[in-house]
Structure 1
Amino acid sequence: MLQITPIDPFDAPTFDAWWDAYAAARRGDLGEDAVVWSREESRAEQQQESETTQRQAFIARRDGDVVGAASLALFLKDNRHVAGIGVNVPPQHRRSGIGSALLAHVEAEARRAGRTTMRADIFWPATLPADGAGAANLEFARRHGYEVALGDLQNRLALPVAAAVIDGLLAEAPAVGYEIHSWIGPVPERFLAEWAALDAVLDTEAPTGDLDLEASSGDTLDYRAGERLQEQQGRTSYGTVALDADGHIAAYTQIVVSSDDGNAYQWGTLVRRADRGHRLGLRVKLENLRALQQHSPQTSRIYTFNAESNAHMLAVNTRLGFQISARMAELQKRLGDAPHS
């Protein structure tokens, strides 16, 4: 008999069993190309007392054995109609109804919370076609009413990039009339409000496909709370901005390094609309890359995720030497009217 129960993230053995199932499922899909949040990064996120996101995690057991894991994220300030979900079943337990039961469970929880749009991310190998033909997880999602709202690429860059390559690309993006600032750690207070505002609209300024979402508020206190979580997770942030003549942020970029897996992850990059066309995106990414290589020479790779329709940013990444390592789909399902919580 299958039992699905919520977990207490402060109960170490239960949490560890949940994480083991999650990691095994991800690695079963992609092998060495799987990007997996570490055990301690995941634990810190689940334990965080957040004012922006209510998180829950569930574990599935059959005859006492852990056979699957699921997660649910309910946004509390913006996109309150959306629930972010994850369903992970290790390969040896698939095709026995566990995934379907976990999915039904988290959807029911989302309905009770008044959510009407479900969102989930899935990955499949880069060797499979862009439409996901042959990807078992996409076939599973479609059987349960989910569609691809946005197709993404997971790209990987081997480090270090030669200084001559960086210098050559920098010469193509002189950023005349702009001032470049880089730092390690939390965003300096003088940049915080404009940085948070740009970061908040990243999801809606970048290609969104058919995603049903709205921009975040850009609240600076919430942003600082996110930075504190990064610190608890052992992550280090590298940030770079381009400032216009009046000292306002025209472009920003961020790389976050995980102390657990040693990888770097490209987070947001955005150029303000009024300042596009000056190759500022390339400039800030190059400056940030140079800072990363200088201060974290042990970091051996960077991962980035971009919409497959974002031709401009993909072209920038190609110039830097990124290569596709997997495909990703941002899935969506509308449940219709749900009861209010």
Structure 2
Amino acid sequence: MLELIQIDPFDGVAVTLWWEIYAAAERADRGADTAVWTRHESQRELQQDTETIDRRAYLACIDGEIVASGRLALPLRDNLRVATLGVHVAPELRRQGVGTAVLTALETEAQEAHRDVLKASASWPCSAGDDGHGVPGREFARRHGYALALGDVQSRLRLPVAEAHLAGLSAEASTRSQGFSLRSWIGSVPEAVVGGWAELDAAVDTEAPVGDLEIEPASVDIREIRRSEMLIAQQNRRSFGTVACDGGGRVVAYTQLVVSGDDGNAYQWGTLVRREARGHGLGLAVKIANLQLLQEHASDVRAIYTYNAGVNEHMLAINRRLGFAPSELMAELQKRLA
């Protein structure tokens, strides 16, 4: 009989066992060189003191043997009907009913927390096609009632990008963005712009295409921005940020790159332009300025990874101009409980 044990995030041995199954399962499905969160980054996130999300990690045992790991994330302020979950089975123990047993246990935990919208994700190589037919994670989710709510494209930009190319794009963007000013930094968001940054960061998940995902806008919370910055530092990561401001000093666009000090890659986090400021090339302008800052101060970074909805042709087009190329596909999955 399966036993699901919630681990203490400060128990290094338990976290290592949990993380090793997660990493092995991801690499078995997506390739040995796939970018996964490191053990240190994962543990620090589990340990984070936050008022907005309850993160839980589990080890699954059968007759005392660890066979799988699981995770559950429960929003505490917004989207209170939602639970996000993940199941990872040791590759050598698959197709024995372990994944189904772990998923059932996690769904029960979510129901006991009064959640009736369950979310998960699955990734696969681009060669497997948009629907991921035959991919183990996608087929597992399909069998258990998780529908494809939004299809995403993971893109990778190999660094460095030629400065001449960036300078040309920057000159083009500047002709369209006259009347706006750019400000870039490394580390914490400056006090003068953190309010506008927090507004855009809270809106990014619902302003981007959402497909059939059931999602509410997040609350604007400067304190949570500061908690996130503390976590980034604890994870041995660095944040690179750029905003565009209008003539009155209001933040109208933002973008953020986060560099992992453990794996040598950078990851694109939010990018958003306020609706009323669109059409001035600000999305391209802030991304170029941020990339130039990254290349100047983190020349050892090998690549940038980003995710965009497959239907978000505008942002995908910007990324292609910068040099991004599709590297993987991901399904955002959703199941509604009766």
- TM-score interval, normalised by the smaller of the two chains: over 0.9
Report the Cα offset of residue 324 of structure 1: 1.1
Distance 1:256 1:66 in 2: 33
Query: TM-score when scaled to structure 1?
Result: 0.96
Instruction: Say which of 239, 242, 245 aligns to 1:243.
Output: 245
Match of 1:294 among 273, 284, 296: 296
Shift of 1:209: 0.2
Structure 1 distance, partners of 2:57, 2:187, is: 29
Q: State the shift of 1:63 in Å.
A: 4.4
AA at the equivalent of 1:269: T
The corresponding residue for 1:277 is 279
Moved over 3 A (4+): 62-65
Give the match for residue 129 of structure 1. Answer: 129
Match of 1:328 in 2: 330
- Equivalent in the alignment of 1:222: 224
Identical pairs, percent = 54
Q: Residues 216-263 of structure 1: CA distance to partner in whole angstroms, max 9, x if unpaired?
A: 001111111111111111110000011101111111100000111111
Residue identity in the other structure for 1:82: V
Name the residue aligned to 1:13: 13
TM-score, scaled to structure 2 = 0.97
1:173 aligned counterpart, secondary structure: helix
234, 237, 246: which one aligns with 2:236: 234
Helix, strand or coil for the counterpart of 1:88? strand
1:168-219 deviations in Å (ceiling 9; x for gaps) = 1112211211111000001001111110011101000000000001010011
Aligned Cα root-mean-square deviation (Å): 1.0
**C-alpha offsets along residues 3-24 of structure 1, whole Å, 9 cap, x if unaligned?**
3211111111111000000010
Residue in structure 2 matching 1:182, options 175, 184, 188: 184
Q: Is the 8 A contact 1:21 1:66 kept in 2?
A: no
| 1:156 maps onto 2:177 in alignment | no
| Paired position in structure 1 for 2:53 | 53
Give the deviation of 1:127 after TM superposition: 1.2
Counterpart-to-counterpart distance in 1, 2:243 and 2:49:
30
1:151 partner letter: G
Answer yes or no: is the 8 Å Cα contact 1:204–1:215 preserved in 2.
yes
Question: In 1, are the aligned partners of 2:160 and 2:302 still within 8 Å (CA)?
Answer: yes
Q: CA deviation at 1:31?
A: 1.0
CA contact (8 A) 2:146 2:333 kept: yes
8 Å Cα contact 1:33/1:326 also seen in 2: no
Q: Is the 8 A contact 2:75 2:83 kept in 1?
A: yes
Structure 2 runs not aligned, ≥5 long: none
In structure 2, the partner of 1:203 is 205
Amino acid at match of 1:106: L
Q: Aligned residue for 2:24?
A: 24
Aligned partner of 1:317 in structure 2 is: 319
Judge conservation of contact 2:29–2:136 (CA < 8 Å) in 1: no
- Which residue number in structure 2 is paired with residue 191 of structure 1? 193
| CA contact 2:196–2:252 (8 Å) conserved in 1 | no
Does 31-40 or 244-253 show the bigger shift?
31-40
Q: Which amino acid aligns with 2:31?
A: G
Partner of 2:4: 4
Using the alignment, how far apart are the partners of 2:33 and 2:204 within structure 1? 26
Flag structure 1 segments of 5+ consecutive residues without an equivalent.
337-341
AA matched with 1:138 = R
State how 1:10-159 maps to structure 2 within 5 Å.
Answer: 10-32=10-32, 34-159=34-159
Q: Is the 8 A contact 1:33 1:325 kept in 2?
A: no
